[in-house]
Amino acid sequence: MAFLDLANPTRFLSYSGRLLPWVAGAAVLVLAIGFGLAFRAPADYQQGETVKIMYVHVPFAWLAMFAYTMMAASSLGILVWRHPLADVAHKAAAPIGATFAALCLVTGALWGRPMWGTYWVWDARLTSMLVLLLLYLGVMALRAAIDDPSRSGRAAAVLTLVGVVNIPIVKFSVDWWNTLHQPASVFRMGGSTIDAALLWPLMTCALGFTLLFVALHMLAMRTEILRRRVEVLEARAAAEAVG
Amino acid sequence: MEHVAFIAASYIVSALGLGLLALWLLMDNGAQKRALAELEARGVRRRSSPANPARLEERTP
């Protein structure tokens, strides 16, 4: 019940208005510390200094998957409970998740060229991440294609839930198939295989980007709530003008 | 530093991508705030708004 009370658009605007500057400030601070640690970290014994690309590439990959998983949870909120804040959260997360997915692909390509000798290969990890980006774009296009906001929200939620099958494929593709992309080295059975000198900067950058994602998502949700209020008021003003 | 161009390009693309996203979100937020303020200035208010006279009348016994 307390959670449902919090999931009220007006209450969300009030709480997020107070929280947003702190979360955004914490994101900038943690990212500054993370990049400071990253640029002092030693070179990798195989990748050399190119490992520095991992401090942005890996958090982008994690957050692209996290944002989509969060959208899938919001989709249940849209379809089962028809909660307006779930629809707002879903719509607001899509362009942010798409940006993280696109940046993951671009930084991965920029790492792949010096390390693998190619920007792109159609291996399972890279292809499933490209599918994730296409799913984000598809969800946004579907929302834009349907005028009725309630119908567009439900259609986007169904597409999101269909596409969520891609998340375990992205995660486990390196185990299920023989890929050029290396297997998991942080979150894996038996613990991380990365040396602490490289792992700490990576985790600090990941925390910073996560805080940045939360701040951007909060801002986008606030904007979406305001947009819906503007639409309602414009419709009322138009109805009053006619009547 | 080896492959410095690839490392620099990664960080530049990341900063540009996230910077543009943040800028777009901030501009969109500003536009919605202005539109809402404009409507309220014209006297169009939400029914639940504390400044809505109709709502104050409903609350007044």
The ipTM value here is 0.91
For residue A40, give both structure tokens: 């002092």
Which residues, in sequence order, are CB contacts of A186 under 8 Å at separation 6+? Answer: A58, A192, A194, A199, A202
CA distance B60 to chain A (A): 22
From A113, which residue of chain B is nearest by alpha-carbon distance?
A: B6
Q: Tens digit of pLDDT for each residue in A45-75?
A: 888 899 999 999 999 999 999 999 999 999 9
Summarised one tens digit per residue, pLDDT across range A95-153 is 999 999 999 999 999 999 999 999 999 999 999 999 999 999 999 999 999 988 889 99
Nearest CA in chain B to A10: B48
- Cβ of B10 within 8 Å of Cβ of A57? The answer is yes
Residues in A closer than 8 angstroms to B13, CB to CB, are 103, 106-107, 110
For A44, phi then psi, to 5°, come to -75, 150
